[in-house]
Amino acid sequence: MRAMGDVAIFDSRHDAVGGLPVRRALPRAAHRTVGAWCFADHMGPVPWRPGMMRIGPHPHCGLQTVTWLIGGEALHCDSLGSEQILRPGSLNLMTAGGGVSHSEESSSTDTGAFHGIQLWVAQPEATRHGPAAFEHHQVLPKVELDGGGATVLIGDLAGHVSPARRDTDHSGVELNLRTGVTTVPCRESYEHALVVLDGSIRVGSMVIEPGKLAYRGPGHDQLVIEADGPAVVMMLGGVPFGETITMWWNFVARTADEIASARHSWETDDGRFGTLPSHLDRYDAPPLR
Ligand code: MN
């Protein structure tokens, strides 16, 4: 970690999901959550090839998945019966609640290099045992800033409010920056994280590039970003999450017993996570440690 002023920079961890190289920016030991954001995988970029991403049916509970592409295409299928092709500029938002299962795969035809981010949002106590749901949004608010444009995926920016569901006070904004300085308005009650998907930016003297997570705590009403060239940045914000979560595999819960119960439900296919017929292989849960 390097810290300068109020901004701290963390290295992402390299991993692979369903055959796809990812850089895992969240969680970090120092920051299990940023607002309710609890997981961030920067996927790709990788050139298209057949079967490049095959993530067969697997379960989730206690979280929302937020999937956003800046290149390529993916097909989402879930146990609610949703079948949705995801393309750049559209938002997939799946709420797991008590339980849901889904699959994700790359397109069978060449749709260009695959590049995007998958984020998880921890659900609060009030909704985490509730019903599962799926939303797809093709129209999202666009905001012109002094140094570029912003798309509001979740929450709001400068009075522009996303139609996407949110169960806590948090926001997710894609910044498309030009060379030069951009001033982004912020809520003082929010902590923030920046994940650079493309290009290179600076906040103060800190350089932030793909493979890094920048963190800044609450207490600021704006963020000043300098870009050396065109850059795409995911800006995540939120009021610090007031509940202590336990994350294991694809589950977000509060206790080890809840995790064991969710794992048992998936392994015995007891109906908690619904049914998802698929040509892809179903994932087995790893052993509990
Ligand atoms: Mn998933």
Look up the CATH number of the domain holding residue 163.
Answer: 2.60.120.10
pLDDT of residue 3: 57
Q: Of 94, 102, 106, nearest to 136 (Cα)?
A: 94
Question: Cα–Cα distance between 180 and 225 in angstroms, integer?
Answer: 8
> Residue 266 phi/psi, 5° resolution?
-70, -45
Q: Is residue 133 part of a domain?
A: yes
Give the Å distance between the CA of 76 and the centre of ligand 1: 10
Give the Å distance between the CA of 261 and the centre of ligand 1: 18
Question: Cα–Cα distance between 238 and 186 in angstroms, integer?
Answer: 10
10-residue averages of pLDDT along the chain (289 residues): 75 92 94 96 95 95 98 97 98 98 95 97 98 98 98 97 98 98 97 98 96 97 96 98 96 98 98 97 94
Q: Is residue 137 part of a domain?
A: yes
Residue-range definition of the domain harbouring residue 177: 2-238
Q: Is residue 82 part of a domain?
A: yes
The model's pLDDT over 212-239, given as tens digits with 9 standing for 90+, comes to 999 999 999 999 999 999 999 999 999 9
pLDDT of residue 49: 93
Place of tokens 């999901």: 17
Question: Cα–Cα distance between 53 and 55 in angstroms, integer?
Answer: 6
The length of the chain, given as a count of residues: 289
- Domains contained in the chain, number: 1
Give the Å distance between the CA of 123 and the centre of ligand 1: 15
Residues 188/218, Cβ–Cβ less than 8 Å: yes
pLDDT of residue 5: 61
pLDDT of residue 2: 59
Give the Å distance between the CA of 57 and the centre of ligand 1: 8
For 83, counting Cβ atoms within 10 Å of its Cβ (0-12 exposed, 13-18 middle, 19+ buried), the class is exposed
Give the Å distance between the CA of 92 and the centre of ligand 1: 12
Q: Is residue 289 part of a domain?
A: no
The pair of structure tokens assigned to 270 is: 């007891």
Q: Of 170, 171, 228, nearest to 202 (Cα)?
A: 228
Hey, what amino acid is at 2?
R
**Strands laid side by side in the 231-238 sheet:** 2-4, 7-11, 212-216, 191-198, 231-238, 170-177, 148-154, 142-145
pLDDT of residue 186: 96
Residue 152 forms beta bridges with which residues? 173
CB atoms within 10 A of CB 152: 22
